[in-house]
Structure 1
């Protein structure tokens, strides 16, 4: 019998689940927010994911519900569970990805390494934290931030006045400004029966708060870093009862300590390299995991893989017209696009190059991506 997976959200992550679903004989259905989104090929419904009855009607037609993003409200998720719908990851796990203060408190409970942090409600709270942490800190909105949104560095107590006012007395999050050597990401897949498979830890490079480049496996990572990153992800996946893909964004400090920065409970930008660089892509692995099927091998297929994001150029620019030039110039590059209209800074696709030499792969991936700038 064909399994039916329902994905809430019609973005590029849902789009990239379509091909492996077809290969596995899985029927994939998508609840898109509007017509013409990235996953339009599988969009069987269009509606508001915040509306309980809309989501209930969608869920009745599938065997399991999963997500393109973490923004579905808790009351909607819990209504599905009450209806007997299989939801992966479930609401008890997703709340840690939806609220950064809840996440920080739970990570502290399970002993995951993380930056110093505190909830702040007033200027005085923020001033006290700044005084204890060298006069600079990172403030974050607890909910709704992504790709650098809802994050800022402050050096005075008035630096978060607008967010404190917007949250109306509810706390926002302040964290120490970590002096890190580089950013890493560790993915792990976990199925409801408990089997878990990690991917190699990767290095990520950010540009204006958006992931721009990924190097897999992370170059020059010591055996200790590799081991600790995998253990942190396994502890979090088990401790938070995550089902599906979990991405743990990490800071690596100059003395090789690893600190948890962010969590994502879905396929993640840091894992796009797996489409061409791993035995089992993150998208196939996520489908296997949410259906509680045996997980695939996460082994790399070559010594190096590089992913470069294609960030949208000027308004009105086209992407399709540049394919031929990029393909001709860099025949080893695998180009993935999201069906989005370009605008400055918007992720509209990515390029993967897999090979035996990291520098050569990076050169080819950057050269191919440059055709779309």
Structure 2
């Protein structure tokens, strides 16, 4: 195997899509995968299987790789500091990554920066929650994703499972929002930064179901505010690579920061087919301190629909059905077994007419999910 220019920790679909961009750029990746058949291990020849929480395993993977990046945000920060001390550039670094790993730390730091956030507080007991006030959203500060570790609490009993989890909990006000937006930026170690169009993210059961780029009917001033906010957060937290700032657009026209992700993000998948430079290519360019690519949209509208596991069990066999029905839709399958609600791929459509683009993407997604057009 050639000497890797980059080590990637985590073998999910994000690392799989990084490999697609790495091939074109001539970047050799070494991967740490959770298992021999996980999504990225299927397409990255130079991979090791092991536990990302074990420092010796991390050392074996990054041994001759000068730069390290991530498919997820869960690597222990003390391990990253050890790798840095041994000469490996971790991008993003542990001091930045903390704010994607720990929602309590994120809220505290964003408050210091004056970033608009929902009212929030760390809670340790039902009495704390009562004092905070209901209704509220209660989240585990670490480890939650795609609606897991999140509870909407309207009565005291709604919080029983949260307190029984034994995890550190964060209470946030239940925001009256019009929709969810996402502002994505790429930032290099030398400080170059590029912003993607602000998109609308639509959820189903706490999981991103579809993304519309750009967000329809978004006031240009609010779009500029979202991009500037994401760029400022990236700079203040010294993020290297992709930063996704998930936002609420409130019913009274304000923006509030919901979550941060410091890696390529589901709300940026549209960019593979819809932007001049995909988020995956710009992530690789950023972490290797290469000049960043353009982030402009190629078409007036791009819609990405997630393929969530449903009644169709053989996605490869179903592929021909989808392509016959929607030959101009881009299909991305992740090599995963189908489980109910699991993200197993996505489809992307683009064009001049939003209603028509939405319809094509939804039809393709529906055919992959349950065999019928949505």
TM-score (norm 1): 0.96
1:191-202 to 2 correspondences below 5 Å:
191-202=188-199
Match of 1:5 in 2: 6
User: How many residues are paired up?
Assistant: 366
1:115 matched to 2:118: yes
Distance 1:72 1:337 in 2: 26
- The equivalent position to 1:83 in structure 2, one of 68, 81, 86, is 86
Q: Is the 8 A contact 1:216 1:305 kept in 2?
A: yes
Distance 1:163 1:252 in 2: 27
Q: Is the 8 A contact 2:92 2:262 kept in 1?
A: yes
Match of 1:33 in 2: 34
Distance 2:190 2:86 in 1: 21
Match of 2:280 in 1: 283
How far did residue 2 of structure 1 move? Answer: 7.8
Match of 2:148 in 1: 149
How far did residue 165 of structure 1 move? Answer: 4.3
How far did residue 115 of structure 1 move? Answer: 0.3
Match of 1:210 in 2: 207
Q: Is the 8 A contact 1:280 1:296 kept in 2?
A: yes
1:59-138 to 2 correspondences below 5 Å:
59-130=62-133, 135-138=134-137
- The equivalent position to 1:222 in structure 2, one of 183, 198, 219, is 219
**1:182-217 Cα distance to aligned partner (Å, 9 max, x none):** 000000000011111000000000000000000001
Match of 2:372 in 1: none
Alignment RMSD (CA, Å): 1.4
SS of 1:371 mapped into structure 2: helix
SS of 2:158 mapped into structure 1: coil
**1:272-325 Cα distance to aligned partner (Å, 9 max, x none):** 0000000000000000000011100000001000000000114x8110001111
- The equivalent position to 1:321 in structure 2, one of 304, 317, 320, is 317
Gaps of 5+ in 2: 370-374
1:21 matched to 2:22: yes
Distance 1:185 1:358 in 2: 18
- The equivalent position to 1:53 in structure 2, one of 56, 62, 75, is 56
How far did residue 163 of structure 1 move? Answer: 3.2
Distance 1:78 1:158 in 2: 41
1:262 matched to 2:271: no
How far did residue 166 of structure 1 move? Answer: 3.5
Distance 2:267 2:159 in 1: 29
Gaps of 5+ in 1: none
Distance 1:162 1:19 in 2: 41
1:173 matched to 2:166: no
Q: Is the 8 A contact 2:8 2:70 kept in 1?
A: yes
TM-score (norm 2): 0.95
How far did residue 331 of structure 1 move? Answer: 1.1
How far did residue 158 of structure 1 move? Answer: 4.2
SS of 1:292 mapped into structure 2: coil
SS of 2:151 mapped into structure 1: strand
**1:331-373 Cα distance to aligned partner (Å, 9 max, x none):** 1100000000001100000000111111111111111111111
Distance 1:264 1:157 in 2: 30
SS of 1:310 mapped into structure 2: strand
- The equivalent position to 2:185 in structure 1, one of 172, 177, 188, is 188
Q: Is the 8 A contact 1:192 1:289 kept in 2?
A: yes
